[in-house]
């Protein structure tokens, strides 16, 4: 019988994704391109959003940008991930439509 993945099984990949997003502003297209998977069991991006660790915002002049939330930063810190003193961000104008 195949092993069913629990969302916490993906924590190492979610941490990698959050760390990558926090380094510099990332467009939604770049995030999906870099983190897409053909395996329906690896829902790293979806779990990250569902757990409130990242958000997608519309930024004037930048389009749809993905940023780490306060919950995402806290998750990174709790797991010993070193973050830049000032996480990457761009001032958002409005949440992007999902």
Write down the pLDDT at residue 86.
58
Q: What percent of the chain has pLDDT above 90?
A: 46
Q: What total of structural domains would you count in the chain?
A: 1
Mean pLDDT over 66-87 rounds to 85
Examine residue 79 and state whether it is found in any structural domain, yes or no: yes
Domain extent, residue 16, equals 7-95
Query: Which pLDDT score, from 0 to 100, does residue 8 have?
Result: 67
Does residue 26 register a pLDDT over 50? Answer: yes
Written in H, E and C, the secondary structure of 45-94 is HHHHHHCCCEEEEEECCCEEEEEECHHHHHHHHHCCCCCCCCCCCCCCCE
Write the CATH number for 86: 1.10.10
Whether residue 36 is contained in a domain is answered as yes
User: What is the value of pTM for the model shown?
Assistant: 0.74
Q: Which residue has the higher pLDDT, 5 or 82?
A: 82
Examine residue 1 and state whether it is found in any structural domain, yes or no: no
2 is a domain residue: no
């Amino acid at each position: 019988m195949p092993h069913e993945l629990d969302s916490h099984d993906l924590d190492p990949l979610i941490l990698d994704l959050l760390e990558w997003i926090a380094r510099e502003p990332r467009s939604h297209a770049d995030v999906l391109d870099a983190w897409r998977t053909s395996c329906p069991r690896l829902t790293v991006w979806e779990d990250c959003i569902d757990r409130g660790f990242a958000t997608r915002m519309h930024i004037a002049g930048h389009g749809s940008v993905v940023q780490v939330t306060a919950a995402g930063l806290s998750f990174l810190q709790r797991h010993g991930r070193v973050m830049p003193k000032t996480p990457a961000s761009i001032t958002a104008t409005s949440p992007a439509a999902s």
